[in-house]
Amino acid sequence: MLKEGVILGERYEIISRIGSGGMADVYKAMDHKLNRMVAVKVMKPEFREDKTFITKFRSEAQAAAGLSHPNVVNVFDVGDDRGVYYIVMELVEGITLKDYINRKGKLSVKEATSIAIQVSLGLEAAHNRGIVHRDVKPQNIIISTDGKVKLSDFGIAKATSSNTISSNVMGSVHYSSPEQVRGGYSDYKSDIYSLGITIYEMVTGRVPFDGDTTVAIAIKHLQEEIEAPSKYTPSLPFSLEQIILKCTQKSPDRRYKSMGELIDDLKHSLVDPNGNFVTLMPLSSHAQTVMVSEDELDKIRSGSAAMAAKKAADEQTSSPRYSKLEDDDDEDDYASYDDEDEYDDDYEDDDYDDDEDDDDDDSGSRVEKVITIGGFVVGGVIICILIYVIAQALGFVGGGRDTSDGNSASSASATVTATATPTPVDSNATANTQEEQVTVPDLRGKTEEEAQQTANEMGLGVKSGGPEPSDSVEAGRICRQDLQPGSQVGKNATITYYVSSGSGKVEIPSGLVGKPRNAVQAALNEVGLEVSFTEDFSSDVPADSVIALDPGEGSTVDQGSTVTVVVSKGAEEDEEVSIPNVQGYSQEEATSILEDRGLVVTTTTATSNRVAIGEVIEQSPDAGTNVAPGTTVTLVINTEEASAEPTTAPEEGATNATWSCNKSLNKPENYQGGVIRLEVIQTVNGSEQSVWQDEGMTLDDSQWPYPINIEWTAPSDASAEVYILISEMDSTGNYQAISKSSTFTADQN
């Protein structure tokens, strides 16, 4: 198994394993060249030294590479890297049809028909390119998350032009056609048969033929007639049942001629579910006994009598007896030959009494002739039987009962039994030969022991299908069964049940946004979730950290579900960054916030009583300024808190003075309408100090611009250059600076 992070062909980065087959593992990977997620099928190590398997592996890609269809999993690339052979395919997020059937038990008619049509369209595209899939089964049909049905895995497909006859059954035996299990030639009609079995399973929840071994199942495909699917789904429309039966005929000649014909009938069944438009080719007669009525027997006798009279008249105008025998040899109508009246007429003929020697000669000639004709007839029958047996073994004729008219020309070899009164059939005796029917019990909600007891009491068997998540049934009890409760089945049938493993729900952890990619993947995998990564630019989240999750944090999903994680690629080169307001934050917090946006931070110090020691007094450029990534932002950090006393205390030799200003403040762009504080900031004794403030106000749009006409006391030698700082109260009750005015000159009175 390949490890995460391995790169194949200098292009495909392995993300995670998503499946495994008989000879290959399938991985989710990132195509770094085209920046897209793909599926990579990698040959298992034990087959890499086997040239036969390598050839077969490559042929899979060659068979499917030419296909491009919405209902086929497309192949993008094929290659090998350091002895690792791989095929790159379209990544389809979804569920196999087999798993879907197992979850639902059986599908609705509309849903099954829709899936069958989409699979048929994909197969039609393959057949048009001379490719036979040869392994059509629910496991190779994927239903994507957007509802699209795609046919995958052309692993045993062969180009039909090769005319290759395999000696092995290559497809899965439950879905293999009779010609496949026989090891014969496989063509388009083999795919039609397998699709018919798949449709059967969709509407009934079961395959028609099952057994303990593959050999037993294969024999059933060859010898046993398929049970009508309506036996297990009584509500199944007549047209769809006929479609299934036509697809699954033993003889390929009796199936649909092409996928196009099948698609037409499937579409027709949607608008006319109970219509009788599906044409099933009748079986030919094979030495079946035909019952002849009394009227028909009379006609045969009348025809024989007329023929005898004609012969007698001819004998009177013709010469010798041997001439009549020669005429009889030329007769084509053997249907009127075997009648005792003809024999009576012959024996009453005067020619037989003329001469005893003539009688002996004529009689001997007749015997010899009868023996000769009989020999030819027997030989012909033997030859016909041999031809039929060989044809049946090769799959050219079917083995079922004939439904055609017994008097047709095709029944020339049939034995005609003349009887005045047909032997009556005992209907009661026929009914007694049928298997005893029982009603399927409802095992849902029972323990395995209870289910075993219930089924055994009714003469039914049970077997476990394994655990299955369930939201409605508690863990340890049966949540689903394959046979529908209340339906009729034969005694000794087996019910497959599935035991609830619990809800199977998990909650997506919180606090993952902003965390590194690897940490988020580990957290999701730990709770039983799969991860699919996508990337996007972000000026707020650093590269290789998580921007968002879908479903979001705190969401409840099925265990094993896939969570899409959006990972930041950093800011685009031409994208500007808006500088956030970090005044009042600690130096560490402010630095982290700015660096996450791709900005460079430098610091200087000052003293202030407006913020705590170690917090940002002011920043440059100002908050809200749009700059390019990599721009330097200077933070002024408070090193010590200025005393309140020196605010108004002049230095030695200086005196206090009254200062004033008259100013109008514009509304800050980032003001949210909350409580604000206004401060006049003046440099006193070498440090910035708040010399005046007013707080607790809430201003609406009509109050801006806001007038400031104030006075305050400060040393006369204080700086005349001042500015007004505007702060807004946050959710914690603390004021955070949101804007400051431009510097202006205060008046000293």
Q: Which residues are catalytic?
A: 135
3-state helix, strand, coil in the chain (%, to 5): 35, 25, 40
CB atoms within 10 A of CB 605: 12
- Is residue 468 a contact partner of residue 499, using CB atoms and an 8 Å limit? yes
What does the alpha-carbon distance between residue 141 and residue 150 come to, in Å, rounded to a whole number?
A: 6
DSSP 63-84: HHHT---TTB--EEEEEEETTE
Collapsing DSSP to helix, strand or coil, 487 comes out as coil
Cis check for the bond before 485: say yes or no (omega within 30 of 0). no
Q: Is 527 helix (H, G, I), strand (E, B) or coil?
A: coil
d(CA 51, CA 55): 6
Strands (E), 503-631: 505-507, 530-536, 546-550, 556-558, 562-568, 577-578, 600-606, 616-620, 626-627
Report the Cα 352 to chain-centroid distance in Å. 86
Strands 600-606 and 632-638: parallel
DSSP string, 680-699: EEEEETTEEEEEEEEEEEE-
At 572, list the tokens. 């685009």
**How many angstroms separate the CA atoms of 636 and 587, rounded?**
9
Residue 709's Cβ-side half-sphere holds a number of Cα atoms within 13 Å equal to: 2
Amino acid at 183: G
Residue closest to 363 by CA, chosen among 416, 320, 322, 405: 322
Which single residue is written with the structure tokens 């070899």? 413
| Helices 356-393 and 321-329: angle between axes, nearest 10 degrees | 10
Residue 699 near residue 706 (C-beta atoms within 8 A): yes
Across the beta sheet with 478-481, the strand order is 461-468, 494-500, 478-481
H or E element in which residue 709 lies: strand 706-715
**Residue 522 per-residue DSSP state:** H
609 contacts 640 by C-beta, under 8 angstroms: no
C-alpha to C-alpha distance for 187 and 184, rounded to whole angstroms: 10
